[in-house]
């Protein structure tokens, strides 16, 4: 009995060794073959970013010059500019209500950053979103206090759920005056007094509010009424202005889309030019960077399912409406604790920026496949107390990190009007699941393949016909440097950990 059992074990071990040898001999190179004549669709997707107002973007800081120069150099369209609630003096132009014939409009801290943004993005389509309604326009038990120091963060400025003016015209007129300030040289205030700015900028798009289900906890019915009122008032200032609506933080409730995209719920003259919503992967506090590479891409796949569902609603109710997903990023668990007293930001590992950049590149590719119009990375500058893990630059000096360089790599190589073509991995290699690929024929006829490594380790890839072409990439070795360009002497190449690479065929 003992001898027979020993023989069975020996035979089993022999089989395991033989099977392991077969697996070891199996080719682990991911072999990709683009089919350049098999067009899937024509891209309508533009990669871009958002710029959120915060103290490091003020003139005279170590961040300002490099950050705005990087924004200018990017040359992106549909950049979203958001003066937002944590810094009321940097984002709200009328912090006190009109009283006794006097108004309290003040653009002294708002204008410098806004003008620098408008100058850095001149000649490009942009989206402005002064997202924070003056707090005094809401009913509260007591006036809401805001910091006297414009650089002091506060998370309690927005309070209340009921506007003091039920007609909503007070809010609408506030936004009409903001628009007039930057496009018509000034405005007339609530008491008939003229305020001159001298600005005559072109602003093609305005997004109405931000993350409405969280900020003042608006129902879609309330938001739709307010959207219509704001649009009506602002179009009196600029009749050709186009609008972006919703700006949802989450995409779990289809009722927001079903209601807002139904034209029967709007005034007959109100356009639905764009809808917008957001996605942030959010790892849990107990996850290491190694764990995060799995959770981020898994959450991204879950988000893509929601996008397809939302697209079905949009196409059914308002097919002419476009979509901008204008906040995409990863929020580290440490960021979510930033409002706690005495919180100290933990150091962010360098590879994290590559992981976040790779996830954005993957979503850009898949959202291009789906037909989303604008895919916006979040955000130009984040820093401790204001979501450092979403920053695209070093918040100490404004120099771009890997997330910025990924966006620039995509911006420089892919654009609306490119043709997406079939690309196959045949036979599939064991590592195929970790490599994302998308093949494009650009409008100028150049052929390119986007490759994204979803893992923090290297893989061997072969792209048929790549020999003699070029490889440009962002990975952990490039760190805060621009994407290098390497000559390809064969079809084979190595993708480093969390690499985002573009193969340019000869």
Residue pLDDT, tens place only, 125-178: 999 999 999 999 999 999 999 999 999 999 999 999 999 999 999 999 999 999
For residue 124, the Cα-to-chain-centroid distance in whole angstroms is 18
For 44-413, which CATH superfamily applies? Glycosidases (3.20.20.80)
User: Tell me, what's the pLDDT at 118?
Assistant: 98
Cα separation, 69 vs 77, whole angstroms: 15
Mean pLDDT, the chain, integer: 94
Pairing relationship of beta strands 186-188 and 242-248 according to DSSP bridges: unpaired
Q: What is the pLDDT of residues 195-245, one digit of tens each?
A: 999 999 999 999 999 999 999 999 999 999 999 999 999 999 999 999 999
**What pLDDT is recorded for position 5?**
46
Q: What is the pLDDT of residues 313-357, one digit of tens each?
A: 999 999 999 999 999 999 998 898 888 877 778 889 999 999 999
Distance CA 84, CA 54 (A): 8
pLDDT-based confidence at 15, cuts 50/70/90?
very low
- In CATH terms, the fold of domain 27-41+419-504 is Immunoglobulin-like (2.60.40)
Same fold: 27-41+419-504 with 44-413: no
pTM (2 decimals)? 0.93
State mean pLDDT over 436-446.
96
Q: Which residues pair with 246 in a beta bridge?
A: 276
Domain ranges of the chain: 27-41+419-504, 44-413
- Cβ-contact 89, 105 below 8 angstroms: no
pLDDT at residue number 20: 40
State the average pLDDT over residues 398-413.
98
CA dist., res. 441 & res. 374, Å (int): 19
Q: Which pLDDT score is estimated for 347? A: 87
The structure tokens 């300030």 sit at 181
Give the separation between CA 305 and CA 311, rounded to whole angstroms. Answer: 10
To the nearest 10°, the Cα dihedral for 469, 472, 475, 480? 150
Examine the pLDDT at 25 and tell me if it is beyond 80: no
Tens of pLDDT along 357-381? 999 999 999 999 999 999 999 999 9
Q: Are 153 and 146 in contact (CB under 8 A)?
A: no
């Amino acid at each position: 009995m003992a001898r027979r059992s020993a023989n069975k074990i020996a035979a089993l071990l022999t089989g395991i060794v033989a099977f392991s040898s077969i697996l070891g001999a199996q080719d682990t190179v991911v072999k990709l073959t683009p089919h350049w004549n098999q067009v899937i669709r024509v891209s309508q997707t533009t990669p871009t970013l958002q710029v959120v107002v915060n103290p490091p973007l003020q003139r005279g800081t170590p961040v300002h010059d490099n950050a705005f120069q990087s924004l200018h150099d990017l040359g992106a369209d549909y950049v979203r500019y958001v003066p937002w609630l944590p810094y009321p003096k940097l984002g709200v132009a009328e912090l006190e209500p009109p009283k006794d014939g006097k108004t309290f409009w003040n653009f002294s801290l708002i204008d410098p950053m806004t003008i620098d943004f408008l100058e850095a993005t001149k000649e490009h389509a942009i989206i402005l979103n002064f997202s924070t309604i003056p707090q005094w326009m809401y009913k509260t038990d007591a006036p809401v206090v805001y910091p006297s120091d414009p650089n002091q963060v506060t998370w309690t400025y927005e309070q209340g759920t009921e506007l003091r003016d039920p007609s909503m015209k007070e809010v609408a007129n506030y936004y009409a005056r903001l628009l007039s300030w930057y496009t018509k040289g000034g405005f007339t205030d609530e008491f008939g007094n003229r305020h001159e700015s001298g600005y005559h900028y072109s602003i093609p798009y305005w997004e109405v509010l931000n993350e409405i289900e969280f900020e003042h906890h608006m129902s879609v019915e309330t938001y739709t009424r307010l959207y219509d009122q704001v649009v009506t008032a602002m179009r009196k200032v600029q009749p050709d202005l186009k609008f972006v609506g919703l700006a949802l933080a989450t995409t779990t409730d289809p009722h927001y889309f079903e209601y807002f995209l139904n034209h029967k719920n709007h005034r007959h003259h109100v356009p639905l030019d764009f809808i917008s919503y957001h996605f942030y992967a959010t790892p849990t506090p107990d996850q290491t960077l190694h764990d995060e590479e799995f959770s981020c891409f898994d959450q991204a796949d879950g988000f893509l399912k929601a996008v397809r569902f939302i697209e079905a609603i949009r196409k059914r109710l308002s097919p002419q409406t476009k979509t901008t997903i204008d906040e995409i990023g990863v929020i580290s668990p440490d960021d979510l604790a930033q409002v706690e007293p005495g919180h100290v930001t933990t150091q962010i590992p360098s590879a994290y920026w590559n992981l976040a950049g790779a996830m954005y590149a993957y979503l850009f590719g898949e959202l291009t496949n789906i037909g989303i119009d604008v895919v916006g990375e979040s955000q130009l500058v984040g820093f401790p107390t204001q979501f450092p893990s979403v920053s695209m630059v070093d918040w100490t000096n404004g120099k771009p990190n890997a997330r910025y360089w990924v966006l620039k790599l995509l911006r420089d190589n892919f654009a609306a009007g490119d043709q997406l073509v079939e690309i196959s991995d045949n036979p599939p290699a064991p590592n195929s699941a970790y490599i994302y690929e998308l093949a494009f024929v650009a409008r100028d006829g150049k052929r390119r393949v986007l490759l994204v490594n979803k893992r923090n380790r290297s893989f061997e890839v072969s792209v048929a016909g790549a020999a003699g072409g070029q490889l440009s990439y962002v990975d952990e070795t490039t760190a805060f440097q621009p994407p290098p360009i390497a000559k390809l002497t064969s079809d084979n190449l190595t993708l480093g950990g969390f690499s985002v690479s573009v193969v340019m065929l000869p």
